[in-house]
Structure 1
Amino acid sequence: MKNFWNWFLDNQHSFKNLINETSQNQSYIIYWIKQNLNYYCRELDFMIVFPKTSTDRFELIITANGNPEYFKQVIDLMDNAPVLKTWKFTASIDSKETIEKRINKLEHPLIIQDINLKQD
């Protein structure tokens, strides 16, 4: 789990700029986020929600996809998350579909591959 957060810290600026990347670069970045999360636990998934204003934070949601067997891994990962003033880290047991429904209620959600990105 430390490896994931170290990698995240090294690459967080790429994630913040994801919405401005070409679709090829978006796919590449998304692939590596998923790969690095999978190194920690294959059953987890993630979403990124973009802030509404420049003073709001980006949000990384880690989900167990509705499987309570893996929620401990989500909690452990969140317990070890770095404290960053530009990021909010959220643990969720909900499935990605449930989270997507919540995000889709927001204005103009952006779907990039299997991640919902939202520029609020």
Structure 2
Amino acid sequence: MKTITNFWNYFQQNNFVFLLLNEISKDELKLHFDKLIEILHQYNKDLDLIIKNKKNGAELIITANGNPYLFKEVELLVHHALVVERWKITAFLQPETNLTKYEKSTDKPLEYYGITLRISEMYFIPLENPNKPTDLGIKVLLKNYIVHKDNPRLREAVYIHIEHLIGEKSFANDIAFIEIGQWEGDNENQIELYNLKSYIDIEKEQLSFGNKYNLLPKLN
């Protein structure tokens, strides 16, 4: 509990630094951010945090970087969060709810170690595992896969994009395996990647309905 208390006390005392990003020098901001990370890692070295500034405040997201074995650690830390004015404290990356920018292809390219990807230009094809029919797999199709296929960071980049799109818990719990390949034009089997969360929700609903149906007594 001491490491949890230390983290929230430091954040509460220095939250204005992160709230006023544009009014503080980069050197000072880095100093405070590094210190916050350091104290977080005293609690658990594998957790991370993301700060999102908004018009009327900001949001602090505690993330396990998609590792389900650390989910309880995240939940415990956020459970003991102090109330800090103008701040929203969130456990885990949440699903993206505003898909308009992807539907209109106005989203900005996201760069990761020299890899540039746009969600609006990414697609997926559902995959099945014959040995585990309830497992959902996907093949992610990229327009520039050929350019980046030899980059050792490509899979990591794709994972991070999906995690931010559908949320950390869904990424960890709902997708069993992921393949990556080249997009080769329109195909009736492919689905826009920004619709992945909706697809997962529909699949889970159908699976749940099927399980309930199988439990019903059969008529002779």
Query: What is the TM-score with the length of structure 2 in the denominator?
Result: 0.41
Residue 49, structure 1, aligned to residue 112, structure 2:
no
How big is the shift at 1:89?
0.5
Paired residues of 1:68 and 1:93 also in contact (CA < 8 A): no
Q: Which moved more, 1:90-99 or 1:25-34?
A: 90-99
TM-superposed CA distance for 1:84, in Å, is 2.8
**Partner of residue 13, structure 2:** 10
Runs of at least 4 residues off by over 6 Å: 93-96
Q: Which of 1, 6, 30 is equivalent to 2:33?
A: 30
Residue 70 in structure 1 maps to residue 70 in structure 2: yes
> Which residue is equivalent to 2:207?
none
CA distance in 2, matches of 1:99, 1:12: 29
Report the structure number with the largest CA radius of gyration. 2
Q: Distance in 2 between matches of 1:99 and 1:57?
A: 26
2:84 match: secondary structure: coil
Which string of whole-angstrom CA distances, capped at 9 and with x for unpartnered residues, describes residues 72-113 of structure 1? 1100011001123311001116899348855xxxxxxxxxxx
Q: Distance in 2 between matches of 1:29 and 1:97?
A: 25
Determine the C-alpha separation between the residues in 2 that align with 1:91 and 1:79.
Answer: 9
Instruction: Name the structure, 1 or 2, with higher relative contact order (CA <8 Å, separation 6+).
Output: 1
SS of the equivalent of 2:54 reads coil
* SS at 2:59 equivalent: strand
Q: CA separation in 2, counterparts of 1:97 and 1:28?
A: 26
Between the aligned residues of both structures, percent identity stands at 36
TM-score between the two structures when normalised by the length of structure 1 = 0.71
In structure 1, list runs of 5 or more residues that go unmatched. Answer: 103-120
Q: Kindly tell me: are residues 87 and 99 of structure 1, through their superposed partners in 2, closer, same or farther at Cα, counting changes over 3 Å?
A: farther
Aligned length: 99
Q: Equivalent residue for 2:106?
A: none
Amino acid at match of 1:63: T
| Residue 80 in structure 1 maps to residue 80 in structure 2 | yes
Give the stretch that moved more between structures: 70-79 or 7-16: 7-16
Distance in 2 of aligned mates of 1:99 and 1:18: 27
Aligned to 1:97: 160
Partners of 2:66 and 2:163 within 8 A in 1: no
The aligned counterpart of 1:111 is none
